[in-house]
Every structure is written in C-alpha cells, then in structure tokens.
Amino acid sequence: MDITPLRVAVIIGSAREGRFGPTVAAWVAAETARRRDMEAETVDVAEAGSGTVTKQLGWADAFVVVTPEYNHSFPAPLKATIDDHYSEWTAKPVAFVSYGGLSGGLRAVEQLRPIFAELHAVTVRDTVSFHGGRRCFDADGRPTDAESVVAAGRMLDRLAWWAHALRDARSIRPYAS
C-alpha cells in the first residue's frame, strides 16, 4: 500500500459576493491538513476557468465538496466546475460538508451524489452538515458544536479508506474505459 499522504482538494462550492463558503472550507482544510495521512489544497469555484482549478482537481486523490443549499439544490458555479472536468473525477472519492438554513444543505448533497456517480466518482456516505450556516461558527471560524468536529473526523477516516483503496487500484490497473 502506498502510504504517501493523500492529496485532498477541499472545494468551495459557492461563488457569490459575501459568501460564507470560504469560512467553512478553511475549517475543513485545517481539519484535513492536521491529519498525518492527508494534505489539503483549497479549490475555489469562483476561480473556474483560470486553469488552476483543473490542475488542483487533477492533483487530488480525493475531494471534499463544501456546498450551501440554494433553492433546494446546489450553486450553479459548483455544477459548472463539475461539468467542466471529467477525468479529474474518475475513480476518486468525494465527501461533502454542507450548510444552509433548516436543511443544513442536505438536499444539495443528495442531488450531487448522482452527478458524481455519472462521473465515475464514489461518494462517501458520511457528511457534516450545519443547520443554520453562519450561526454554527464562532468568530475564529470554528464550529461551536463539538459534534461537528467528531463527524468531520469520521467522514475523513472514511474518505481516507476510499482514497487509499482507489489510489492503489488506479496504480495497479487503469480504470475500465
């Protein structure tokens, strides 16, 4: 088994002026980077088209998509970034951290799962969701609820399992075309 740290791209899924997404993504990236088995890079869908995003997605062994909910779904710039790429997603795992109003962004997450299945990516069952968005974070950008930190750890453990399994598998044989 390859024990090189897994490369995790943490994707900020919103792009609007005044968005809260970077705060959530910064916390997720910090939780990821403090693990011995992972390194993290933050990908911003607001920078789509710059070429940087494509490089970052190609570099990654695994993804954490940080998404809010807009009108019971996910933001359009996130979908555009997903659609602009193909092989970058293939045979890699995707986990989700969501936020929003009462729903905590869970409807956005459930709508993203079949999209990633179409792209031959594997979605991780465990999610972290913040019901109430900004109110769930303190002034330092950390969740006020300790349960969220526990949930993130469990989600990243499972993301790591899939990322190792799929990275090893991709190195043994190319994904079936």
Ligand X SMILES: Cc1cc2nc3c(=O)[nH]c(=O)nc-3n(C[C@H](O)[C@H](O)[C@H](O)COP(=O)(O)O)c2cc1C
Binding site for ligand X (CB under 6 A): 14, 16, 19-21, 68-72, 99-103, 133
* Number of residues assigned to the chain: 177
- Residue among 132 and 153 whose Cβ is closer to ligand X: 132
CB of 142 to ligand X, least distance (A): 17
Q: State the chain's maximal CA–CA distance in angstroms.
A: 48
92: helix, strand or coil: coil
**Residues paired with residue 95 on neighbouring β-strands, in sequence order:** 64
Residue reference for tokens 């799962």 = 113
- Residue among 5 and 132 whose Cβ is closer to ligand X: 132
Give dist(CA 67, CA 24) in Å, integer: 9
- Residue among 109 and 156 whose Cβ is closer to ligand X: 109
CB of 74 to ligand X, least distance (A): 10
Give dist(CA 167, CA 91) in Å, integer: 8
Report which secondary-structure segment, H or E, holds 164. Answer: helix 146-172
CB of 24 to ligand X, least distance (A): 7
- Residue among 103 and 111 whose Cβ is closer to ligand X: 103
**Residues paired with residue 98 on neighbouring β-strands, in sequence order:** 67, 129
- Residue among 38 and 152 whose Cβ is closer to ligand X: 152
Give dist(CA 151, CA 132) in Å, integer: 17
